[in-house]
Amino acid sequence: MRRTIAGRFPAPRPQPIAGHLGRFGIDPLALIEEGARLGKVFELRLWRRAVVGYSPDWNRLLLKDTATFQSHGSLSQRTPYLAGGVVLTDGPEHRPRRASLNPAFHARALEVLRDDLRAVVAERLPREPFEASAWASGTVQAMLQRAFFGTGPALDPALLNSFVHPLDQPMPAPLLPRPLLFRRMTAALTEAVATAPEGSLAAHVRDSVDRSVEEVRVSFAAGYDTTTHTLAWALWHLTTSPRWADREALPHVVDETLRMYPVGWLGSRETTAAVPYDGVEIPAKTLVFYAPWLTHHDPDLWPDPHRFEPDRFASGNTLPAWGYIPFAAGVRTCLGAHLARLMLTTALEPFCDGRLRAIGGEPEVRTGLTLLPRGEMHLTRSA
């Protein structure tokens, strides 16, 4: 790998004084793509030194060695919506907390929710032309209410919509503190979690771990953000690739959508000790990133990576190890990954009737906590 400074990884050209921070705030995808052209690992000068990598070997290193690469000190800690619960738990406390939460979020356990979620989607099916992101937003909010609290809704829909609205905005909106809104949401969740019916996800969290309200709040935010935007992208691609509008193919459609638009397009950790990598020593307390956006669009791993092709995930095809990480990987794989897949396939089922059409839109990518459509995407279910 080419070096530009002895003992350092290559880096894109910085701006005077600001380094890479300005570009990171304005167009981070272009910045990391420029870095990727310099090598599989590169550096950025943000508010602190950062090292970014995207090869399968790099992903394996960061996501398996949880002692050396911890969440404390990562960008999650700077994100109000993610700063809490199992997401930010490190060390010996993480494993038992995760083990307590896992049973209710396992794919087999969640299957009992499918009929209830289908009912939610049926109630919200559009009968007129609709905008994909707006429909996905309302539908996912309603599905999360049903999954966590059963019939209800337990939370005021207006409050929930206000709480998640910043997650539909580009950076830095999701990072800004909103203490009054969070206090209102926490108060509402405290009551809803305390009275959640047995068998609901909220009841399981309440009965399994301490700080259960915090855990549910983080789960709602993470579940909303990831599922809403993936659903909008999948709907758009079903209009441009209608041959995939088939219920049996929906798992592959979801997988390919998550490859093209990984919900955690950039993940971060902080090193607890010095780490040698490819002849360079990465110091302790360094901010390090893994980049699913780069991994999932690496032509060395994915032929014609910008083409929507769910067949990549057909039975018999081998996925690149540590090269497909839409929900991270290892012991810190997203707790809600199975719930997200269940909601996505369930929400997409009614659109497999051959009636979905695109009217127009602006399906370019912009960056928030997840990857958002830059503009509106207008669809219709034609007769």
What are the tens digits of pLDDT across the range 290-302?
999 999 999 999 9
**pTM (two decimals):** 0.94
Average of pLDDT values for 80-88? Answer: 90
Reported confidence tier of residue 171, pLDDT bands at 50, 70, 90: confident
* Placement of tokens 């005077």 in the chain: 16
**The pLDDT value given to residue 77:** 83
Reported confidence tier of residue 197, pLDDT bands at 50, 70, 90: very high
Residue of 154, 229, 139, 226 whose CA lies nearest to 185 = 154
- Measured distance CA(366)–CA(374) in Å, rounded: 5
Average of pLDDT values for 103-109? Answer: 94
Question: How many other C-beta atoms lie within 10 A of the C-beta of residue 262?
Answer: 26
Reported confidence tier of residue 88, pLDDT bands at 50, 70, 90: confident
**The pLDDT value given to residue 91:** 87
Average of pLDDT values for 343-371? Answer: 94
Residue of 220, 270, 272 whose CA lies nearest to 82 = 220
pLDDT > 70 fraction of the chain, expressed in percent and rounded: 98
**The pLDDT value given to residue 383:** 66
Average of pLDDT values for 247-262? Answer: 97
Residue of 283, 274, 368 whose CA lies nearest to 79 = 368
- pLDDT tens per residue, range 17-74: 999 999 999 999 999 999 999 999 999 999 999 999 999 999 999 999 999 999 988 8
**The pLDDT value given to residue 168:** 94
